[in-house]
Structure 1
Amino acid sequence: MTDALALLCYAAAVGVLAPKALTRGTWSYRSPALAVVLWQGLAVSFTLAAALASYHLITPTRHLHNGMSGLLHFCGLALDTYVPGLTGVPAFAVPVGVILLPLMCFGHHLIRARRARARHRSVLDLVGRRSARLRATVLDHETPVAYALPGRRPRIVVSSGALRVLSPAELDTVLEHERAHVAGRHHLALAAAEAFATAFRWLPLARAAREQTALLLEMAADDRALRRHPREVLASALYAMAGGRTPQGAFPAGGPDAAVRLRRMLAPRGPVHPVPRGVVAAGAAAVPLLPLVVGCMPCLV
């Protein structure tokens, strides 16, 4: 039971303590793209830890008797072990089911969002007009709003109200922000966070990862727009469109996190130093593998 206890303690640390530590500071706002990768890595790490722990809990006596014939046996896993009391059900099906749960939720969120975007595109084909100059679809609506519809047929949408209230520089900045969402395929990262939150909705890590991923993706798009435009321009455009509403599956230029993004732009801090940034990047790459190390540790001592 040592291996199961170690994996459960690790899963508890990742699922409960890690999100509190990550949301305590504001370092992630200085490197939002890297922070998104770290949140995704923690989600994968927790899923693997929960899967391995479930296996070791249902087969507590079948871990150190299979020799060193392969990685599965070495880590205490065996394909010929069955769930006690359930004839013919391999024990390996339990951790596989834990892993498949968020994957199935991920596919569900992708399909649902794609259908919603497809319905909205069909409406835009009827009521919107294509602007070659803006490389966007203009929608006749008084509310200032701009958003991106990502996917296989991406589309940038801007309302006539936004064209009326935004200056040319502000409009260019907003469009650059939306193109960053499309180019970065941010909808995949957001769908992954939503899927993890659906699969483990009771988990603090799942709730924090969903909230932080949505905010950090907006900040990452802001950073790309700020490479070519002054931050004051983007801040004023963001303020003008903070109250706009967008359809499901779209990335808005404004939105509920506009106040946090405005404070970040108006009180900028320098980028994270390369050394701690490299440490965080290495940690983000290594954290999905830690459950395997924890699970194999009892076999090494």
Structure 2
Amino acid sequence: MITAVVLAGYAILVGAAAPYALSRARWAHRAPIVGVLAWLGLMVTFVVSTALALYHLVLTEEHVHDGIVGLLSVCGLATGDPAGGSTPTLGDAAGLLAPAAIVLLPVGWLVRTAWRTRRARRRHLDLLTLVGTPAPEYGATVVEHGVPAVYCLPGRSCRIVVTRGALDVLSDEQLRAVLEHERSHIAGRHDVLHVVTEAFARAFPGLPLARQAKEQITLLLEMVADDRALRFHPREVLATAMCEVADARAPQAAMGAGGPGSLIRLHRVLTPHDRPHRATWLGVVTASVAAPLLPLLVACGPTV
């Protein structure tokens, strides 16, 4: 019972308190890739700790006292009798439904979200074949629309879209800067992380971690793309281009250079920043990997 309380407290800490602390961490904007890893680590940790807490609550005391061996025995993955000497019953197997649901719920939403995103992307690609004009010199498709916008449709049939309004207000160098931003999204498969965070948010609505992770990972991925563009273009060029397309909203299943968080990104682009100290990001990476393992270590040994 004590183990269940510890695991439940750990899940509450990760799901309700840690997100607010991480969202205020200054180092995350200086090392956005590490920041994304930290948020993903919290998401995995919440699922693991919550599932194990429910396992210790719903299964019979004999199997719980056998730790992870008891869990494997109930699942039929361990041979022989557990140390407690009891044989798993049908009720014990049924008790696994609750912890299994915590794991399968985000997985189910992941499959559904990926399917809906892929379907929306296909519809948009079909529309582009009708209204878009190829622009080989930019590696993009031009759409006759007055609002300045630049966005990409990631995936196998990836496409970068530029509106006529963007061509009218952006210089050639500014346009190439935002195009590099979009190529970073495509090359890094940032759309996959968007699907993961969307699925987690739908699986656990109302959870602070779900809401914060979705917002922060979206912002951090835009910063990753900004950093890629800054490798090839001056800060002022990218910042000016961002201002021109800041009000544009990317269609469903697409990723755009503007949208929410533009002011934060603009300040970051115009303000040179150093990467966090090596000890800082090494500590964050280690903690992100270790956090999901702690509940497993608690569950591996005999409980008290």
TM-score, with length taken from structure 1: 0.92
- In 2, the alpha carbon distance for the partners of 1:292 and 1:206 equals 22
Partner of 1:145: 149
Partner of 1:166: 170
User: Do the aligned residues in 1 keep the contact of 2:152 with 2:186 (CA within 8 Å)?
Assistant: yes
Pick closer, same or farther for the CA change 1:218–1:225 going to 2, 3 Å.
Answer: same
- In 1, the alpha carbon distance for the partners of 2:243 and 2:285 equals 33
Identity %: 46
Partner of 1:289: 293
* 1:14 corresponds to 2:18: no
2:230 to 208, 211, 226: 226
- In 2, the alpha carbon distance for the partners of 1:90 and 1:39 equals 32
The CA deviation at 1:250 is: 0.7
User: Do the aligned residues in 2 keep the contact of 1:32 with 1:219 (CA within 8 Å)?
Assistant: yes
User: Do the aligned residues in 1 keep the contact of 2:42 with 2:291 (CA within 8 Å)?
Assistant: yes
Partner of 1:208: 212
Q: Secondary structure at the match of 1:90?
A: helix
Partner of 1:63: 63
Corresponding pairs, count: 293
Q: Secondary structure at the match of 1:255?
A: coil
Q: Secondary structure at the match of 1:62?
A: helix
Partner of 1:90: 94
Q: Secondary structure at the match of 1:147?
A: strand
Q: Secondary structure at the match of 2:151?
A: strand
- In 1, the alpha carbon distance for the partners of 2:175 and 2:122 equals 25
Q: Which amino acid aligns with 2:236?
A: E
The CA deviation at 1:77 is: 6.4
* 1:78 corresponds to 2:74: yes
Pick closer, same or farther for the CA change 1:76–1:264 going to 2, 3 Å.
Answer: same
Pick closer, same or farther for the CA change 1:60–1:76 going to 2, 3 Å.
Answer: farther
- In 1, the alpha carbon distance for the partners of 2:302 and 2:121 equals 49
The CA deviation at 1:225 is: 0.7
Partner of 1:274: 278
Pick closer, same or farther for the CA change 1:163–1:89 going to 2, 3 Å.
Answer: same
Q: How much is the aligned-residue C-alpha RMSD, in angstroms?
A: 1.9
* 1:35 corresponds to 2:35: yes
Partner of 1:128: 132
The CA deviation at 1:94 is: 2.5
User: Do the aligned residues in 2 keep the contact of 1:82 with 1:91 (CA within 8 Å)?
Assistant: no
After alignment, is 4-13 or 270-279 more displaced? 270-279
User: Do the aligned residues in 1 keep the contact of 2:143 with 2:162 (CA within 8 Å)?
Assistant: yes
Partner of 2:248: 244
Alignment gaps of 5+ in structure 2 = 76-86
1:259 to 263, 279, 300: 263
After alignment, is 88-97 or 232-241 more displaced? 88-97
User: Do the aligned residues in 2 keep the contact of 1:138 with 1:159 (CA within 8 Å)?
Assistant: yes
- In 1, the alpha carbon distance for the partners of 2:88 and 2:239 equals 59
Q: Secondary structure at the match of 2:95?
A: coil
Q: Which amino acid aligns with 1:141?
A: H
The CA deviation at 1:166 is: 0.5
- In 1, the alpha carbon distance for the partners of 2:175 and 2:73 equals 57
Partner of 2:4: 4
Q: Which amino acid aligns with 1:40?
A: L
The CA deviation at 1:136 is: 0.6
Partner of 2:80: none
Q: Which amino acid aligns with 1:274?
A: R
User: Do the aligned residues in 2 keep the contact of 1:105 with 1:195 (CA within 8 Å)?
Assistant: yes
Pick closer, same or farther for the CA change 1:214–1:77 going to 2, 3 Å.
Answer: farther
User: Do the aligned residues in 1 keep the contact of 2:74 with 2:93 (CA within 8 Å)?
Assistant: no
Partner of 2:51: 51
User: Do the aligned residues in 2 keep the contact of 1:145 with 1:159 (CA within 8 Å)?
Assistant: yes
User: Do the aligned residues in 2 keep the contact of 1:177 with 1:221 (CA within 8 Å)?
Assistant: yes
- In 2, the alpha carbon distance for the partners of 1:62 and 1:199 equals 31
Residues 71-96 of structure 1 deviation map (CA, whole Å, 9 limit, x = unaligned): 83167863364575xxx853333222
Partner of 1:190: 194
After alignment, is 11-20 or 279-288 more displaced? 279-288
User: Do the aligned residues in 2 keep the contact of 1:7 with 1:291 (CA within 8 Å)?
Assistant: yes
Q: Secondary structure at the match of 2:232?
A: coil
Q: Which amino acid aligns with 1:284?
A: S
Q: Secondary structure at the match of 2:142?
A: strand
After alignment, is 192-201 or 268-277 more displaced? 268-277
